[in-house]
Structure 1
Amino acid sequence: MPEQERVIITQAVYVASAVEREQYPEVKMPEIVFIGRSNVGKSSLINSLTRVKNLARVSSQPGKTQTINFYALGAKGEGTADRKSFYLVDLPGYGYAKTGKERRKMWSAFIEDYLLHSPQLQFVCQLIDIRHAPMRSDIEMFSWLVRNGIPVLVIATKADKLGKNACAKQVALIRQMLGVAELSVLPYSSVKNEGRSDLLDVIWDTLLQ
């Protein structure tokens, strides 16, 4: 029998795409942010988390998301009257070589502006492919977030591609390479929805604070 989920997503809709502050949604709500290398499985994870099949478009072409995308979500706590609304914010993938240098600079400027100046930002989920060691761009992004005092949860995606022991080994490697021995790393499989209730718990606890 599947375990009883503590948090239920009651709605999930696409709201806006932005490349500058003026385009952010007018209604202010807490923001949970997703960032990761191109092709790390961000769209699949968003669809798995919300259980809305094509909410985020899964692209076979890395580097396709070139805007900050806002999705409005509603959630309720199982067995309570508590309901919360928040934005799930999908940032463009980093580290994709085919994007021209100037374009990359422009991207990084508006992403940086968002991350440093959004008062609604609660924490960042940084997605790293569990099958590989973190790449230089992953390590740089993690260090930048920590340096700027932005709370970060590392999510190891595509966990269904490895066995249990291999997963544990890779999580240890991610911790070691990011330089934080006691770092929480959440393995996630969008295919099997494994890690979903754990991630929803973290989001819910943050919203209740």
Structure 2
Amino acid sequence: MYQIRSAVFSKSSAKIDQCPQDNLPEIAFIGRSNVGKSSLINMLTGVKNLAKTSSTPGKTQLINHYLVDNAWYLVDLPGYGYAKVPMSEKAKWEKMTWDYLLDRKTLLYVFVLVDIRIKPQKSDLDFIRKLGENGIAIKIVFTKEDKVKTMEGQRNIMAFLEALKEDWDILPEYFVTSSEKRSGKVEMLGLIEEIVFNSF
């Protein structure tokens, strides 16, 4: 079983040309604001405050690179959807994010985080569709499993997958996680190991 031995903050970038230039493989995490991204990153890496958690949507405003095991980068991208910031600021985040997603040569996969507690959201579905249209490899991660009853969570997952079928012939692989219970960690790290260490 793959276990992360070290994870450290590397740098924050406002533009793609400011990102690390050492050609290490990258896996990016993104989701709607307040989906639990920072908590998931901390849970996966085993470093308690590696990514700063906040109850305020829109905390991540730059492209944040974390160097893992001196071998690959975990990349924390700004959330999309609701955040109490001016539209001009959101537009700037969106351009920065898509510049990274479309042009970053070392990006291997994007993990899109979805809140298991809520029914399918247009912002999630639209974002995932755009990733697919641009040929970007993705996995879906349902978060906050511990915050919902099992049956309700399953219903929301099935509804989300049904909604995806309108655009996808083959549905992306998905994981169900809880940062509190550490569920999904083994499965996600197993896939990340396969992606990262078999890619270059």
- Structure 1-normalised TM-score? 0.89
Residues 1:112 and 2:101 are matched in the alignment: no
Q: What is the DSSP-based 3-state SS (H/G/I as helix, E as strand, rest coil) of the residue aligned with 2:4? A: strand
1:184 & 1:166 partners in 2: Cα distance? 20
Q: Is the 8 A contact 1:171 1:185 kept in 2?
A: no
2:66 & 2:48 partners in 1: Cα distance? 14
- Alpha-carbon RMSD: 1.4
Residues 1:121 and 2:107 are matched in the alignment: yes
Aligned residues between the structures: 195
1:31-84 deviation line (CA, Å, top 9, x unaligned): 00000001000000000000100000001211111001000001xxxxxxxxx7
Q: What is the DSSP-based 3-state SS (H/G/I as helix, E as strand, rest coil) of the residue aligned with 1:7? A: coil
1:21: Cα distance to partner?
2.5
Partner residue of 2:132? 146
1:25 & 1:47 partners in 2: Cα distance? 21
Q: What is the DSSP-based 3-state SS (H/G/I as helix, E as strand, rest coil) of the residue aligned with 1:116? A: helix
Uncovered stretches (5+) of structure 1, i.e. residues with no partner: 1-5, 75-83
Partner residue of 2:84? 98
Uncovered stretches (5+) of structure 2, i.e. residues with no partner: none
- The one-letter code matched in structure 2 to 1:14 is F
Q: What is the DSSP-based 3-state SS (H/G/I as helix, E as strand, rest coil) of the residue aligned with 1:8? A: coil
Residues 1:45 and 2:40 are matched in the alignment: yes
Return the structure number with greater strand share: 1
Q: Describe how 1:188-199 pairs up with structure 2 within 5 A.
A: 188-199=177-188
Q: Describe how 1:196-207 pairs up with structure 2 within 5 A.
A: 196-207=185-196
- The one-letter code matched in structure 1 to 2:141 is I
Q: Is the 8 A contact 2:16 2:104 kept in 1?
A: no
- The one-letter code matched in structure 2 to 1:13 is V
Q: Which aligned segments of 4 or more residues in structure 1 are displaced greater than 4 angstroms?
A: none
2:29 & 2:80 partners in 1: Cα distance? 12
1:86: Cα distance to partner?
0.6
- Structure 2-normalised TM-score? 0.93
| Identity value in percent | 42
